[in-house]
Structure 1
């Protein structure tokens, strides 16, 4: 056992003393400048800027499908790549976004379809999450609507129902 410890100690001593060259003498100045450039560019992220962060469909009849388009621009300094767009529930379907990188300054769009179903006489709000290579990693937009008519509530009486709805009541909300 003593021989093993003595051998390991001798090996460590040889390993530490054999490096007679100073480590800083091995650094090439061109590598330092390339690393600085790389690190500066690595801090540049695309920035996802929307024409609107929320779309209000207003009052819609229960079960009436509606659709809207969100336009976005890459206001950052690196190409934007959207990898996924999803909603909090199956009643809201985002689609038609480009999977190709979007250059800085360029714009694109995606659509969001909502099936229009909800509790009659209630407000509904849905969040759409965009996964991209932005600094935050995800961005969100919202759609909202007031569901009128259907299930015993005539469309003409929705104003009374809407005014009697308590503030903050979100009705058929899956968020």
Structure 2
């Protein structure tokens, strides 16, 4: 009789330990970050202007479209050197609308050049690097 009581007590203890196990789904219910494609689609990211005359500034226009569902704001545009001035759309770009970034190279020195323009927006975590190149004659 004593053996039966001990085995019943052991069985009850074993069953209680199983009821304390939490399902794995309850433990691993952290939200998963959803991957989304870029909401900005650039017409081109690199432009070769070919040959340009010395002393004549050359404006290069980069166009993009907001393909997302929310407005996009260009927060900063920076040329790689003082020889490249920049301008860009200041107002929010609504979904489905297009905008532009303009880089103006001063063409002061003769020879081949390759410059970059870094564009930071509210839609991207990493700035977009645009390239312009050509030869000043």
Same fold (TM over 0.5): yes
Superposition RMSD in Å = 2.4
Structure 1 counterpart of 2:74, from 76, 82, 88 = 82
Equivalent pair of 2:79/2:117 in contact (CA under 8 Å): yes
Q: Secondary structure at the match of 2:78?
A: strand
**How many equivalent pairs are there?**
107
Match of 2:112 in 1: 123
Structure 2: state its 5+ residue gaps: 1-30
Match of 2:47 in 1: 55
Runs (4 or more) in structure 1 with deviation over 3 Å come to 42-46
1:72 and 2:64 equivalent?
A: yes
TM-score of the two chains, using structure 1 as the length reference: 0.53
Structure 1: state its 5+ residue gaps: 1-35, 149-175
Equivalent pair of 2:79/2:103 in contact (CA under 8 Å): no
**What is the correspondence of 1:97-136 to structure 2 with a 5 Å cutoff?**
97-118=88-109, 120=110, 122-136=111-125
**What is the correspondence of 1:1-175 to structure 2 with a 5 Å cutoff?**
47-95=39-87, 97-118=88-109, 120=110, 122-148=111-137
TM-score of the two chains, using structure 2 as the length reference: 0.66
**Structure with more strand by fraction:** 2
**Structure with more helix by fraction:** 1
CA distance in 2 between counterparts of 1:73 and 1:133 reads 14
Computing the radius of gyration from Cα coordinates, the structure with the larger value is 2
Q: Which has the higher contact order (CA 8 A, sep 6+)?
A: 2
CA distance in 1 between counterparts of 2:54 and 2:131 reads 19
